[in-house]
Amino acid sequence: MMKVYDVVIIGGGPAGLSAALYAGRATLSTLLIEKEQVGGQIMMTSEIENYPGCVEEESGATLIDRMKKQAAHFGVETISDEITEVDLSQKVKVLKGQQETYRAKSIIIASGAASKRLGCEGEEQFIGRGVSYCATCDASFFRGLDVFVVGGGDTAVEEALFLTKFARKVSIIHRRDQLRAAKSIQEKAKKNPKIDFMWDSAIESLSGDGILEKMVIKNLKTGEKTEYIASPEDMTFGVFVFVGYAPNTALFKEELELENGYIKADDMMKTSIDGVFAAGDVRVKSLRQVVTAVSDGAIGAVQAEKYIDSLE
Ligand code: FAD
Ligand code: NAP
């Protein structure tokens, strides 16, 4: 007979790890399932300034490392697998992974969000050959080269600032003439001599022979097209895409109520199905940050405990 866990958590980002900590500490049998590396999106950032208690030299990786240890301390089991199918209709919820099938009395969905693609010609072909979605991971490959950042939100501008530590020059390509990023972040970028802006612009195509060598940029107001070609000494350049994130909810769209692709959950993290909770960036909310993700995870786990008690 296959084990039925008290709680299975889908996703090992901040929301999942916090849920794991609270569920484990409540002595519930808890399984955390993560398809990539434990830690989620915050692993991509080299500096966190706005998580309470992070004063200096805190990166996504160092913060997550402590969260992982804390959850493991309370007996949480972690498995590397990707959930590909769910059946939430029965009392015992069934999750099919690529490796195994898991069963649980309650589920906490903490599957977060993933980088959106630009959708321009050549983008997919040059991923890892000039096109990147993670500055912390790839910045050092572009030391001394020109780098272009696409997007105008917090991520694009913060990552552009980070990239100035490596690149010769960082150009922010934005489709409007105003940034969406917080004013404090904008000010830092506007003061940085290595950063310039290409307003009202979009990348039309990316090309090259094996590695990224050429880009066509279109001015969206005038229609004018400009070519950027890597010099023979440089050979290549970088394009970092930060145009937002889409929720990882494809698995749940038949079973749960969604709004704009995000899972609807109340302030107890309850979804439209009893025993199924959603926490973190995956749910409808006004602020997607580590501090709100960990709060959701804690509430979800406490509510899962109450739900399990009600079954007995
Ligand atoms: P995620 O971090 O997205 O984690 C979800 C996890 O679920 C992922 O690891 C994913 O692999 C896994 N998963 C998804 N589907 C499945 C599946 N089917 N099976 C198994 N596993 C699955 N916030 C701040 O507070 N401060 C910052 O400075 C800050 N900087 C940021 C910088 C960047 C570049 C980015 C992208 C985000 C930043 N954020 C910051 C936002 C913060 O990272 C998110 O709000 C937070 O990570 C959300 O946590 P989460 O656990 O809900 O989701
Ligand atoms: P975001 O706020 O959604 O911004 C996305 C940016 O990309 C916008 O400027 C948008 O342009 C642009 N864009 C979207 N689709 C595009 C396309 N197809 N082509 C070209 N440009 C496109 O995303 P984000 O910056 O990743 O931030 C996500 C969340 O994480 C936010 O809530 C943010 O506050 C949070 N975050 C916080 C921090 C921090 O607190 N330090 C750091 C990073 C992220 P428009 O402006 O024209 O819409």
Span 114-141, pLDDT tens digits: 889 999 999 999 988 999 998 877 898 8
Whether residue 193 sits in one domain with residue 209: yes
CB atoms within 10 A of CB 262: 18
Whether residue 74 sits in one domain with residue 147: no
Closest C-alpha to 207, from 118, 123, 117: 123
Res. 16 pLDDT band, cuts 50 70 90: very high
Q: How far is CA 184 from the centre of its chain?
A: 22
Whether residue 274 sits in one domain with residue 207: no
Q: Is 197 helix (H, G, I), strand (E, B) or coil?
A: strand
Total number of domains constituting the chain: 2
Whether residue 59 sits in one domain with residue 84: yes
CATH of the domain at 208: 3.50.50.60
Whether residue 208 sits in one domain with residue 155: yes
Whether residue 130 sits in one domain with residue 60: no
Whether residue 89 sits in one domain with residue 47: yes
Closest atom, ligand 2, to C-alpha of 157: 25
Rounded CA-CA distance 252/243 in Å is 24
120 assigned to active site: no
In terms of residue numbers, what domain contains 299?
Answer: 4-115+245-311
Closest C-alpha to 123, from 231, 239, 201, 244: 239
pLDDT tens readout for residues 38-67: 999 998 777 788 899 887 778 899 999 999
DSSP per-residue string spanning 52-92: TT--SS--HHHHHHHHHHHHHHTT-EEEE--EEEEE-SSSS
Whether residue 212 sits in one domain with residue 138: yes
Q: Which of 241, 273, 297 is the last residue of a domain?
A: 241
What percent of the chain lies above the pLDDT cut of 90? 88
Whether residue 269 sits in one domain with residue 171: no
pLDDT value of residue 90? 94
296 assigned to active site: no
pLDDT (mean) for 176-187: 97
Q: Which segment of 145-154, 224-233, 280-289 scores lowest on mean pLDDT? A: 280-289
The ligand that comes nearest to the alpha carbon of residue 242 is 2
Closest atom, ligand 2, to C-alpha of 288: 32
pLDDT value of residue 1? 62
Task: List residues bridging with 33 in a β-sheet.
Answer: 10, 79
Indicate the top mutation candidate among 38, 42, 243 to test ligand 1's pocket, ranked by most ligand atoms within 8 A of CB.
42
